[in-house]
Structure 1
């Protein structure tokens, strides 16, 4: 284990500096990412890359995650201008043979500004394959949540809290009562399915932070918004924001085109997104605002809070999500989250399916 100063020298010197000590954790990942690029100085270019667990797509995503924006931009600049790495990312022959994956989707979104029309068309096809797979996995279960109320006569294999049937569960498990423990042992929890129900139309505004650290959330927000847009009970709008707000609602049915409009990176002005979302409210008690952000607002924090306060007081439902991906992992400013929660917003992290359950609960 090395101290911080020695670790920095390891990162600067790279290959050959092992004598200074071992690195682990994030520093080890940073070292591997830097070696993946800069070891080309001593290995004779792309053809002589030292063995690495990284691939081009995963490397692009790694440097976005591991380094500050200005450092990442410098590394990318070296990769594209000094080592010709852009040719590997944007080479049509490689794109024709590479296996579509979520990692490749991330890499394409990070480098699409470098692509000419031919490469962008190939990249669009790859994006569509990955997005269609995600849509297929999510669509049926999300629609089940959104298309009706609980039907106690029908059982559901989808074991989520909103579908739990406590009365039926108790009846079914009475045989498991333990006199010794004085408890009912639940071995077979039961969940109700949903029967179709038509609600009065609601508007849902999904506003997603498009700063570099939020890519996973941007992807899942676009997919969820597309599924919401296919529901007759929902009037769905999709916004992406950094320091400005881009209304992607015209592309909402096609998340591929929506994602290709996104410009990842840059600063963040959450209050601008909330104020724009507020302008879309027509019937407050039939409106949901879903903000997906890390909540690191800075100087505009008071305007962010004011916008949330106004919307909550108007009767709109406001949900603040730190992330929106399949794992439910979140990373956000806890103090800002607590403040917004105290103003009446709901705050947390949710998978797409959990978000659909929340939407259904609000509309019920």
Structure 2
């Protein structure tokens, strides 16, 4: 390494950033990296601050880190990292600032919130800390939630419409002669008389088309959403999916959130943002009460689907939960139990309870929204 040209200064600086303030006496940082180092120190030096509970001591029992070399404030830091790091990195740092280092100031200060990158993680944090917000901050948070929800809804709507629209009704005929309705098998079968052996081709003198599946198929869907803290992802996707379903003319949607009490939000089902701001995360879970409520509002059992979205960790004797589920199934309603509903199909639930639900006749799976649409 005597030859200065052989030194990889870029990697040395990267290692210095990784090691943080512990290496500042041994590795000199190039000027262009100082701003990055300051931004990283502002957040991650909290790992060793007494306030965070992560205090670390050297052999002489002296406190390390927190040399106060940064004069950054939270608003300046949020603005700075957007300029210094890629969007994905900014999202990760924002999430860690809130979840790991409890910088809730990011959500209660209007000027800081304006600088935040709207994304799913920010949406979840807003919903978690919404009760700490007031006035203009809450209005701004509402606008951020709407933007993120609208982005998610566009993707989900596209996936769901692919499932619900364009199905064909076999053995039918329609005057609506468009390509997607073309019955290829019937067209070939009825034109085989025109087959040319020499050319190995069929002359088609008549095309046959299927009729689109009838527009109105009056199914009632009752969505029961467990609002315990572990279900936040599923709460978000469920409320958005319910709003999409509510706009399909052949589905009637009831939306209910529950913990140890019931809140029927069917009147708000078309607006997922309104639903999300009414969710109170945490608390106990009374699945029996939710299932009993579904039984109470069911008017046409053989045309009803009950979606229970829950981690199945009930606060009651599980036998009552299974009994309520059996009543729904025996009434000829369909019961779907979803321990997770998001695009990662992340699952954290009582697996024994899930197996028992499946055993008594419920359909049980942690699935993505488009898979749920196909199921229905």
TM-score, normalising length from structure 2? 0.66
State the distance in 2 between where 1:108 and 1:130 align. Answer: 11
Counterpart among 269, 280, 297 of residue 280 in structure 1? 297
In the aligned structure 2, how far is the partner of 1:300 from the partner of 1:349?
Answer: 23
Aligned residue-pair number: 279
| Structure 1 residues 149 and 136, CA gap change in structure 2 (3 angstroms) | same
**Pair 1:143 & 2:181 matched:** no
- Correspondence 1:70-149 to 2 at 5 A: 79=102, 85-147=103-165, 149=167
1:38 maps to which of 39, 49, 52: 52
Query: Secondary structure at the residue paired with 1:318?
Result: strand
Shift of 1:261: 0.5
- Highest relative contact order (Cα 8 Å, sep 6+), 1 or 2? 1
State the secondary structure of the residue aligned to 2:233.
helix
2: distance between equivalents of 1:154 and 1:306? 49
The unaligned stretches of length 5 or more in structure 2 are 1-20, 23-43, 56-64, 82-88, 171-177, 187-209
Structure 1: give runs of 5+ residues left out of the alignment.
1-14, 17-30, 64-74, 80-84, 157-164, 169-192, 360-364
Q: Give 1:256's match in structure 2, choosing from 264, 273, 278.
A: 273
Structure 1 match to 2:26: none
The reply on whether 1:334 has 2:372 as its aligned counterpart is no
Structure-2 residue corresponding to 1:316: 333
Distance 2:168 2:140 in 1: 44
1:1-364 to structure 2, matched below 5 A, reads: 38=52, 43=66, 47=72, 55-60=93-98, 62=99, 79=102, 85-147=103-165, 149-150=167-168, 195-359=212-376
Whether the aligned pair in 1 keeps the contact of 2:226 and 2:235 (CA below 8 Å) is yes
Shift of 1:312: 0.2
TM-score by length of 1: 0.68
SS of 1:198's equivalent in the other structure is coil
Shift of 1:40: 9.6
Based on CA coordinates, which of the two structures has the bigger radius of gyration?
2
| C-alpha RMSD of the superposition | 3.4
Deviations 1:77-134 (A, max 9, x none): xx4xxxxx33222111112222211110011001000000210100000000000001
Q: Deviation at 1:248?
A: 1.5
Pairwise CA distance, 1:155: 6.5
Flag the 1:241–1:32 CA change in 2: closer, same or farther, 3 A: farther
Specify whether residues 151 and 285 from structure 1 end up closer, same or farther in structure 2 by C-alpha distance, changes over 3 A only.
closer
Aligned to 1:11: none
